[in-house]
Chain A
Amino acid sequence: MNTPEERPTLAVWKFASCDGCQLALLDCEDELLTLADRVQIAHFTEATRATVAGPYDVSLVEGSITTPADRDRIMRIRQNSRLLVTIGACASAGGIQALRNFADVSEFRSIVYARPDYIETLDRSLPIGEVVPVDAELRGCPIDRGQLLDLLTAMLAGRRPHLPDRPVCGECKLRGTSCLLVTGRAPCLGPVTRAGCGAICPAANRGCFGCYGPIGDPNTAALIPALRAAGLDEDGVRRIFRTFNAAAPAFADAARGEEGEQR
């Protein structure tokens, strides 16, 4: 066991998000005690109020940037972090709250709040990578516990984390799930969505809803006819691309293309 001074420091930060990805770290029950021997958890409000001042060896960042204050805060965190890793769809693509990127925020504000002038907000929900450089990102809503552990153990060993840029289809095949699109069971975004979840939804007979966001070069245009054949109408296609990664450029473009066709 390392002495506290030798242990690398780990900080976990929250921005606009539901805390679900931070919980993935708490969910590593079996490994957490050993992990605490090897890293010093310097800031993690889901687990402890105690905070150690930076700089930090690794910062895990959950959530998107939605206010001017948060924009300043993430810049300070970046300056204080050797490695900055985003966790979850909010941090990597803006999250479900990025749906507002496609509408007028001042209008929402005036409808929702009694005193809209008290609300200071950006007109878009920004992924962390749009504000500061990011060293690695764990995708998903929520992130996968196994990928988080691999990232942390990789960091400790000096290894590159295993975050393959391949679609969910590869994971369906590895676990022996028959293709939902081909058998006509459900519309599925698996062919354009980054793997890492272990293809859990298709294995439960549910189409992939793209929570890991797009692969490096998704051909969404080619997928849309297959989604239609699997039962989605134009609006359904638009909606399937507008969930947790609505603002990821490839998915945003696919949804926008469908709007164009509707007109």
Chain B
Amino acid sequence: MTTTPYTMTPLRYRVVARRPDTADVVTLDLDPLGSPVQSWAPGQFTMVYAFGVGEVPLSVSGGEGHRIVHTVRSVGAVTAAICVAPVGTVLGVRGPFGHGWSLPDRGDLVLVGGGIGLAPLRPLVRTVMARRHRFGEVDLLVGARTPDDLLFTDEYDRWRESGISVHVIVDRAGRHWSGQVGVVTSLLDRLRLDPEITTSFLCGPEIMMRVIARNLTDRGLTAGQVQVSLERNMRCGYGVCGHCQYGPLMVCRDGPVTDYATAEPLMAVREL
């Protein structure tokens, strides 16, 4: 049985596995205790409640069947409580909310994830892997502050084996880093693009998405071929509390994923 996501009352999920990814990022597997939420699509988010602490929006980073996987960075009281939740903890979940990524039927794909922004791209990577034969070139560009901040590193080989070119770059190298150092844009510069058939998916800090999106459109992609995942103060999840407004968008309802044609004029306005 599934229920409508349009409610402020959470359903209970139990933490069944917990994997620390980095010093401040943890991935949790959640299974429903009773009724599950509706099935989700890559790019969507849920609202996760830690008992007595509060609720935050978290994008779904994976999960089969009724399982939901979240990859959480500890940035405040609620995310801190979720990050330290041991296996067995019961959390509240509402959702899933919003629009996810819109994957075309064919063509080339460029996925760009900065920092925790790789989390909502992970289920998209999984979907692409399952239908890999339909697409041409598939490139995944991953950026992080330091090598220690890279997410899902144990999965890159599997992604590569399935025919996805994974490119990794960090802002600051550690002692044991032999990979690339710099900003994600420089990875993009080295990529050969066929603007006619490429669709791009960006998630990361807004400034990163703007720079990448501009780079892509300069190279011939239309703004409609670039999808970005926006962040605003999502609270209710279904467009009735107002907090996540971004110009005409209610990001929780009309986003978080939108095309750059919609986002570009909004990103250009200060304090919108």
Contact = CB atoms under 8 A, between A and B. Distances in A.
Nearest to B84: A158
A156 to B, nearest CB: 9
A88 B261 CA distance: 50
A34 to B, nearest CB: 15
Contacts of B53: 157-159
B82 to A, nearest CB: 11
Nearest to B51: A157
A160 B76 contact: yes
A176 B177 CA distance: 62
Nearest to A162: B54
B263 to A, nearest CB: 28
Contacts of B52: 157-159
B92 to A, nearest CB: 14
Nearest to B52: A157
Contacts of A158: 52-53, 77, 80-81
A160 B54 CA distance: 9
Interface residues of A, number: 4
Contacts of B78: 160
Contacts of A159: 52-54, 77
B9 to A, nearest CB: 19
A116 to B, nearest CB: 49
Interface in B42-86: 52-54, 76-78, 80-81
A158 B54 CA distance: 10
Contacts of B81: 158
A161 to B, nearest CB: 9
Contacts of B77: 158-160
Interface in B15-56: 52-54
B84 to A, nearest CB: 9
A248 B15 CA distance: 47
Contacts of B80: 158
A157 B76 CA distance: 14
Interface in A142-159: 157-159
A75 B53 CA distance: 31
A170 B218 CA distance: 47
A158 B77 CA distance: 7
Contacts of A157: 52-53
A158 B89 CA distance: 15
B72 to A, nearest CB: 15
B89 to A, nearest CB: 13
A140 to B, nearest CB: 23
A150 to B, nearest CB: 12
Nearest to B81: A158
A2 to B, nearest CB: 16
Contacts of A160: 54, 76-78
B55 to A, nearest CB: 11
A39 to B, nearest CB: 16
A244 B269 CA distance: 40
A110 B210 CA distance: 65
A158 B76 CA distance: 10
A193 B216 CA distance: 48
A78 to B, nearest CB: 22
B90 to A, nearest CB: 15
B16 to A, nearest CB: 22
Contacts of B54: 159-160
Interface string B122-144: 00000000000000000000000
Nearest to A153: B52
Nearest to A160: B77
Interface in B192-240: none
B128 to A, nearest CB: 38
A158 B81 CA distance: 7
Q: Could you say which of B76, B77, B80, B81 has the most chain A C-beta atoms within 10 Å of its C-beta?
A: B77
Nearest to A157: B52
A154 B199 CA distance: 46
A34 B127 CA distance: 52
Given A158-B53, A160-B54, 5 more contacts: A158-B52, A158-B77, A158-B81, A159-B54, A160-B76
5 contacts: A158-B52, A158-B53, A158-B77, A159-B77, A160-B78
The 6 A-B pairs at the shortest CB distance, nearest first, are namely: A157-B52, A160-B77, A159-B53, A158-B81, A158-B53, A159-B77
